[in-house]
Every structure is written in C-alpha cells, then in structure tokens.
Structure 1
Amino acid sequence: MLGLDGLLPEQLSRRGFVVMTALMSGFTMATAHAQANPPVKTPADGLVAGEVKIPVKDGDIPAYRAMPEGAGPFPIVLVIEEIFGVHEYIKDVCRRLAKAGYLAVAPELYARRGDISRVTDVQALLRDFIAKTPDAEVMSDLDATAAWAAQHKGDAQRLAVTGFCRGGRAVWLYAAHNPALKAGVAWYGPVGGQTSPIQPKTALDVAGELKAPVLGLYGGADTGIPVASVEELKKKAQAAGKTVELEIFPDAPHAFHADYRPTWRKEPAEAGWKLMLAFFKKHGAA
C-alpha cells in the first residue's frame, strides 16, 4: 500500500495489527476542555447501534454502526471522523443518520497509529496520527467499510459519504476514488494544504476527477479555509463537467456542526443537516 512500509509500529504484526482495538467512550482527551455546550445525545431506541469490526486488508479496524431496526436494506452513509477519532459526537452523528433511515458507519481510520483516545495534545495528533496515515489506506478502509455495510443490511446501490474537517477533505478524495458513490457531503473540509509522498493530492487537485456529486458546507468566518479556495474548487470541478454545490454560511466558523465545541452554531448546523439529507435524496442515496 502506498507509503505504508515503515510507518507501522514495530510491535504490530501483519494480522491483528490494530493498536486501538476498541472505540473510545465519551470524547477524545484532546477535546475534553472544549466542551462548552451540552452535546446532542440522540437515543438509540428503534435502532441497532454499537461497535463493530471492519475486515480490512491487514486485519480489522473498530467502527461504530447505527441503523434502523428491521430487515433493510438501508441506504449506506460512510461517516468520516474529524482528527479526534470516533468519539461520542461521531457516534451520535451515526445515530442521527439512522433515525433518518440510513445505515451509518464510522470506521476508526487512525487505529493503526495507536490509541487516539489517550492523546491530549492536538499537535501530537496531527504529527503522529494524521500525517502518518496514507490517503491510499483511508480510501481502502472506506471501500472495506462500504463492502461490510453491504453485507450487513446495507444497499450498495445507495452509497453516500459525509465527513467533518479532515474527514471533509477525505470526502472530496473519496468522491474522486469510488465510482459506485452516489453523493458526498463535505463539512468544512480543507481543499488545499501541504502534500506528502503518502498524501500526494489535495481536494483541489482532484476536483476535476470527481465520480459523484459533492455538496460542500463551509463557514464564511472559517479562518483556516478561505472561501475563495472553495469557490476555486467548484469552478475547477464544473469546468470538468462535475457536479459540485456549495453552501457558505457567512458568520459560521470552522467546526460549526460540532455541538460539543464552542464553535458550534445551531442554525448553520441544522440548516446544513437538512441540505445534506436533501442532497443525498436528490442524487439517489436515500
């Protein structure tokens, strides 16, 4: 796999490689101080929800799955985490999607790097987890998650993806990767930034290669993602005949959907959620 050799800790074997063997409870330690708002808690009544294992090329990774009770098949949404792991906020997003009729599954994409729940420093997360996770590995793990979902009451013909922050970046990349995808929704995903041998392209680089429609939800007050760069991505994609829609919430900062953080903004978060569900339905992923 691209750039993977030499990145895995020496103590890991080719099988059973996962350092983080189970999902965390609550929130990542790196974000514990940021819980200024009472996080949204979606009940699991009427749902089948909990931790599962996703078979991938070199072992298994933990994931959180939520879906309605019943026979299915249900449309699938892959939920891509922020940099903080599959913690309670991401799990709740899965339950919210399940309440809307989806089989939602969030794989722990950084499980090979170590136990993300114990990391207290954001810079350590960026250095030791994010920067060391190859994009090719992420794409392969998302493919494996979609395949698992299709075998567990999911409908492979109605496949969507959504993600937040770094996960939003992965939405753009996955939309350029998987021709079976019906729709993607990127919540404030970076479109530019530095590249590396294991992360060779930005979202802007793949704008002309999209294989599915993408909706980008961005904040006009996001100091890290200039609106001009998102507009540039849209123009590049449309010039190549691709479908990209943008919704810019003028006063919203970065991470405006993250209800456990001070950046949460109720109205843009709720409006973006409605737009996401409508976008999935419009493009055959509902």
Structure 2
Amino acid sequence: MWNQLRTDEYEGMLAETVTMPGHNGDRIHAYFSRPLGKGPFPGVILIPHMPGWDEFSRETARRFSQHGYLTLCPDIYCRFGHGTPDEIAAKARNAGGVADDSVMGDCEGALEYLNSLPYSNGKAGVIGMCSGGRHAFLAACKVSGLDAAVDCWGGRVIASKEELTAAQPVAPINYTPELSCPLLGLFGNEDKFPTPEQVDLQEEELKKYGKNYTFYRYEGAGHGFMYYHNQAYRPQQAMDAWEKVFEFFGEHLSTEKRN
C-alpha cells in the first residue's frame, strides 16, 4: 500500500535496460526494475503508452519495484528505430501504429522473461495506460498465463469497423469471452477516449460473460489523470487509483504460484 513503508526496513532496487525476446523472436529493449533481495517477488508487465517508451514509463516501473514487484517495460516501438520517445512515437503513428500481434508477442516474451527469473514467485500481471490500457485488456484476453490485468483509460477497446486498421484489425471488446484473469479498470468521467458510454458498453460485455472485473470511475478526471508530468494530472483521483492498483495486484499476485 502507498506510503506504508517502515522507516527501519532496508530498501534497495536495481533498474536497467535489458534485451528480451519479443514477437517472432525479435530481440527488443526493455526497462527492467526489481527490488534487491532473494524474493520471491511477483511480476508486472508495464506496457508503454503512445507517447512512447518514455521517462514516465521508467519512473512507473520503479514505483512498482519500490512496492515489491519485478517490473518489465518492453519497448513495443523498438522496431521503428531509436531516438527520443516523441520521435519514435511519431514514426509509429505515421506507420499506422504498432501492430496488435506484435505487442501481444512482446507481452508473451515479457511474461516468459519474468517467470524465468530465480527470484520470481511465478505470478505476473499486466498494466497499461492510454493505448497501453487497450493493450493490457487485449493481453488479458490473448496472452496465456497472466494472473491479473489493469486497464487505465484504454481507448478504442470498443471500435467501429471504420476505426479498424491493418495493425489493429479486431476491436478488443470482441475478445471479452477469452478474458482469462481478473481485470481492474480505471477511468475518468470527463474522458472522451474512452467516453463514459463506451465504458458502460465494456462493462455490459464483461457482465454478459460473467467475468471477474472491477471498474472505478472518477469525477473531475479526464484522460491521463495519473500523468503527473502534464496538465491532465488530478492528484486526489490519481493517488486513490494507485491505492486501487496496489490492492488489486496485492490480492492476485502476492502468493507464490503452485505447480
């Protein structure tokens, strides 16, 4: 839980850029952070948002590790080249976005990487914000072996036929029957991407198929309300949302997986 660290306890972490197996066996970069110690620790796959594989993603990874999680943030944009996050995000947009199949393959590689570590407890969740939230929901439906998923205001989970593209050929909502782990959703009621009405439709679909999910919706908050680096930030709503994330992952990832 947030700010419950004891002042007499040792704390330390390691954070570094690593390479990992991605989609189709590609070797891609990832930012990996972990608490120091023998563990075992649960894992978190952090899918970066469309602003890119950026400093916010790295800081978020370290926040999870401060709370006891192995965190791997794959550079899902690695295939577009290298430069600043803004430069590479622009290349990705101009190319029609990163392909869903590619992101799911990278998530599978990230899960394999985390589970192979000797200090892993064998459980892992996935979280993403904005387009990463959409990808997190998609991974919860398409990637086998995840134990929990958090969708932070993921847009285009519901998409019309006109909005579908070669890179994103199926609306993630269509995969709801395949959702295989508990889902937490965090949304702002002033968001337009997704709108509250789209969140309603997603919730109806989850109920229809009897899925294990919890949604929280925040008044006075729009898209990106946890982004403390820009004007979208809403501190009260953001800190409550962080509490919800830690509670959720604590419930579903903290115990060691039994074979």
Write the distance in 2 (CA, Å) between the matches of 1:122 and 1:60: 19
Write the distance in 1 (CA, Å) between the matches of 2:97 and 2:213: 29
- 1:175 paired with 2:140, answer yes
Match of 2:8 in 1: none
Match of 2:205 in 1: 236
- 1:137 paired with 2:102, answer yes
- 1:255 paired with 2:224, answer yes
CA gap of 1:95–1:123, structure 2 versus 1, over 3 A, is: closer
Code of the aligned partner of 1:174: A
Point out the structure with the larger helix share: 2
Q: Secondary structure at the match of 1:79?
A: strand
TM-score using structure 1 length: 0.78
- 1:47 paired with 2:16, answer no
Q: Tell me which of 197, 214, 220 is aligned to 2:183.
A: 214
Q: Secondary structure at the match of 2:30?
A: strand
Q: Tell me which of 189, 192, 195 is aligned to 1:226.
A: 195
Q: Tell me which of 245, 249, 256 is aligned to 1:280.
A: 249
Residues matched between the structures, number: 240
Code of the aligned partner of 1:48: L
TM-score using structure 2 length: 0.86
Question: 1:121 Cα shift?
Answer: 9.4
Match of 1:95 in 2: 62
Match of 1:34 in 2: none
CA gap of 1:115–1:250, structure 2 versus 1, over 3 A, is: same
Alignment of 1:158-173 (within 5 A): 158-173=123-138
Q: Is the 8 A contact 1:78 1:145 kept in 2?
A: yes
Gaps of 5+ in 1: 1-44
Percent of aligned pairs sharing the same letter: 27
Q: Secondary structure at the match of 1:283?
A: helix
Write the distance in 2 (CA, Å) between the matches of 1:201 and 1:138: 14
Match of 2:115 in 1: 150
Write the distance in 2 (CA, Å) between the matches of 1:95 and 1:118: 18
Match of 1:59 in 2: 26
Write the distance in 1 (CA, Å) between the matches of 2:221 and 2:180: 29
Code of the aligned partner of 2:94: R
Code of the aligned partner of 1:150: N
Q: Is the 8 A contact 1:234 1:245 kept in 2?
A: no
Gaps of 5+ in 2: 1-10
Cα deviation 1:194-253 (Å, max 9, x = unaligned): 212331222322223211111110001112211111121111112112112110001101
Question: 1:50 Cα shift?
Answer: 1.2
CA gap of 1:132–1:284, structure 2 versus 1, over 3 A, is: closer
Write the distance in 1 (CA, Å) between the matches of 2:185 and 2:104: 19
Question: 1:178 Cα shift?
Answer: 2.3
Match of 2:240 in 1: 271
Write the distance in 1 (CA, Å) between the matches of 2:18 and 2:30: 5
Q: Is the 8 A contact 1:134 1:199 kept in 2?
A: yes
Deviates further, 263-272 or 119-128: 119-128
Q: Is the 8 A contact 2:125 2:253 kept in 1?
A: no
Write the distance in 2 (CA, Å) between the matches of 1:53 and 1:121: 18
Q: Secondary structure at the match of 1:84?
A: coil
Q: Secondary structure at the match of 1:271?
A: helix
Write the distance in 2 (CA, Å) between the matches of 1:201 and 1:156: 33
